[in-house]
Amino acid sequence: MMKHESIEVNAGFLIILTLLAISIGGLVEIVPLFYVEGTVEDVKTADGKDAVRPYTPLEQLGRDIYIREGCYTCHSQMIRPFRDEDLRYGHYSLAAESQYDHPFQWGSMRRGPDLARVGGKYSNAWQVKHLNNPRDVVPESIMPSYPWLLKNELDTSDVVQKMVTLKKVGVPYSINDEEYKANVEKFGEKVAKTLDIRKAKDNIVAQAKAGNYDGNPNRLTEMDAIVAYLQVLGTMVDFDQYDEQYFIDFR
C-alpha cells in the first residue's frame, strides 16, 4: 500500500492527484445542472402572475442607499435552510427572491439580524427611528446612526439611467409599449406601471406620497427610499400557498 508520505514528497504526483480530486468534485457539482430545467423557483401569485418582481424606482434608489451606507457589512439577506434560522427569521431564502438583485445582498456576516424577511415586520415610523438613532428603539444596539437620511433630499436625477443599465443585465423594466404589455402579462398591470422607465420619476413621487415612509409627505428624502426598500424585503412570496416539497424540487 502506498504511504501518504510518498505522495507528499513527490510534488508532481501530488499535483496530479490534487487536480484529479478537484476535477471529480467539479464534475459532481456541475454535471447535474445539465439535467435540471432551472434552479430558480417558479413562484406565482394567486392569479397566476409572477410573484417576484423587480424593485420599483423608489425601492431601487433605496437599495442603492443601503449599499452606499454599507448596511450589507452587518446584515445578511439570506436565510439558510436550518431549523434555528426558520424559527427566527422565517422560510429559507429562495433563489427567485434574488433574481433581480445586482449585486445580491446575501452576505456572510451578521453583526445585526438577517433582513431577508424584515418587510412589514415593523412600522415605517419604527424604521425611521431605528435608522435615525437605533438606541431609541433598541437600547443595546451597536448600529451607527444615520440622521442624514432624514435631512438629505432624494436624488432622482439618474434613476432613468440606472433602470436602463439594470435592463441591460436582465431586469425586465419596460421602455416601450411592447415591453410594457409583456410586463402586464408577466406581473399584472399594477406592477407593470411601476416598472415603466418612461414614468420613473412620477412613480417615485407617487409611491413616496402613498407610503409616507419618512413621516413627512411634503418632502422626498433618502429615508423615504431606504424604508421603502426595507419594507418590501421578503414580502413578495406567499409561502402559505406552497408546501415544502414544491421548493425542494428545485434544488
pLDDT at 14: 86
The count of other CB atoms within 10 Å of the CB of residue 138 is 12
Q: What are 214's three cell numbers? A: 419618512
* Cβ atoms of 138 and 130 closer than 8 Å: yes
Q: Which residues pair with 174 in a beta bridge?
A: 196
* Cβ atoms of 78 and 93 closer than 8 Å: yes
pLDDT at 13: 85
How large is the angle between the packed helices 200-211 and 222-232, nearest 10 degrees?
A: 80
Helix H segments across 71-145? 83-89, 124-132
Write the pLDDT tens digit of every residue in 87-143: 999 999 999 999 999 999 998 889 999 999 999 999 999 999 999 999 999 999 999
pLDDT at 1: 56
Task: Cite the residue boundaries of each domain of the chain with CATH code 1.10.760.10.
Answer: 57-237
d(CA 103, CA 19): 31
Write the pLDDT tens digit of every residue in 157-169: 999 999 999 999 9
pLDDT at 32: 83
- 10-residue stretch averages of pLDDT, the chain, 251 residues long: 73 90 93 80 92 98 97 95 93 95 90 96 98 97 97 97 97 98 97 98 97 95 98 95 82 67
Q: With respect to CATH, is domain 57-237 assigned 3.30.460.10?
A: no
